Homo-oligomer: A and B are copies of this chain.
Amino acid sequence: MTTKRSPSLAWPGNTSRRLGLLALLAAAPLPLAAVSPVRAQGAAAPGLGAPGPTRDEVRAVAPALERYAAEALFGDLWRRPDLSPRDRGLVTLSALIARNQAVELPRYFDLALESGVRPGELSELITHLAFYAGWGNAMSAVPAARDAFARRGVGADQLPPVSPRLLSLDEAAEARRASRVGEDVGPVAPGLDRFTTSVLFRDLWLRPGLAPRDRSLVTVSALIASGQVAQVPYHLNRAMDNGLTRAQAGEVVTHLAFYAGWPNAFSAVPVVKGVFESRPD
């Protein structure tokens, strides 16, 4: 987990390759790139779709919304210390992919990469969410990721291998999980029971390209962002077992209020509270 502060969070997506990290490091509070190369490139790239609106386009429709973006979102939320910009990048991308909002992905892939998320981690995040948010959601994220990688010259050598040496499995914990799911799921959907074990818990979760703590953070974020809180306790406990603190977990909920809407955040609060109360730490 990287704790460095993102250099500038003002309206990501208007940042350009030409301005690049230099301008970001200068922390210009609200860069006003007249033409966004991201958008220009996006228009040419066949699979990308139109990237999200620029700051000027937002202002032309909803001046107040532009102010909230500058002040509450990028000027406040993203700078709060309880969650690193890197973690916020993972949480935001998980929410956008879980909610199938491909239009906003280009700016947030850029922002995540500029905040310390590695390309290989993004690759694993997309792969992970194919299973936790739906296959089509992952497919819709591929073009924007491909373009973000291309802008940085990220090649195959920076991506996780297809079949890496897997992390070691906690056989006892996995046996408990498999037994419980086997009882609940097996009699109804034996295929689901089998895939859950073979593909998810004995393969996907053991891939080393995304740390277990981050993998759980991604899962919890996707669950909250799509209003599916029933499985939050299991995955939030897993995340906290792997190092996510209470303050970070609470701030994930705060962050998701903006990206998944206030109602989803409010629905998550009692569930997160229940997990907190059930833990000794």
B135 and A188 contact, CB distance less than 8 A: no
Question: A260 to chain B: which residues have CB within 8 Å?
Answer: 134
B53 and A46 contact, CB distance less than 8 A: no
Question: A159 to chain B: which residues have CB within 8 Å?
Answer: 61-63
Question: This chain: how many copies in the complex?
Answer: 3
B142 and A58 contact, CB distance less than 8 A: yes
Contact flag A50-B46 (CB < 8 Å), given A103-B139, A192-B253, A228-B267: yes
A72 and B199 contact, CB distance less than 8 A: yes
B250 and A188 contact, CB distance less than 8 A: yes
Q: A149's contact among B61, B95, B185, B187, by CB below 8 Å, is which?
A: B61
- Residues of A in contact, count (CB < 8 Å): 102
B50 and A132 contact, CB distance less than 8 A: no
B134 and A99 contact, CB distance less than 8 A: yes
Instruction: With CB as the reference atom, state the residue of chain B lying closest to A187.
Output: B273
Question: Is the CB of A172 closer than 8 A to any CB of chain B?
Answer: no
Question: A163 to chain B: which residues have CB within 8 Å?
Answer: 67
Residues 164 to 190 of chain A near chain B (Cβ within 8 Å): 184-185, 187-190
Q: A185's contact among B100, B190, B269, by CB below 8 Å, is which?
A: B269
Question: A48 to chain B: which residues have CB within 8 Å?
Answer: 50
Listed stretches A14-22, A23-31, A110-118, A123-131; interface member = A123-131
Q: A64's contact among B65, B127, B136, B264, by CB below 8 Å, is which?
A: B127
Residues 245 to 281 of chain A near chain B (Cβ within 8 Å): 250-251, 253-254, 257-267, 269-270, 272-273, 276
A62 and B191 contact, CB distance less than 8 A: no
B127 and A62 contact, CB distance less than 8 A: yes
A99 and B136 contact, CB distance less than 8 A: yes
Interface string of A222-259 (1 = CB under 8 A from B): 11001110110000000000000000001101100111
Q: Which residues of A contact B (CB under 8 A)?
A: 39, 43, 46-50, 52-53, 57-58, 60-68, 72-73, 77, 80, 82, 95-96, 98-104, 123-124, 126-127, 130-140, 142-143, 145-146, 149, 156, 159-163, 184-185, 187-192, 195-196, 199-200, 204, 207, 209, 222-223, 226-228, 230-231, 250-251, 253-254, 257-267, 269-270, 272-273, 276
CB<8 Å pairs between A and B, sample of 13 = A49-B49, A52-B139, A61-B142, A61-B145, A62-B127, A72-B195, A98-B261, A101-B134, A101-B136, A136-B259, A185-B269, A189-B265, A228-B263
Q: Can you name 5 extra interface pairs (CB under 8 A) apart from A95-B136, A99-B100, A132-B261?
A: A49-B50, A62-B142, A64-B127, A96-B136, A131-B261
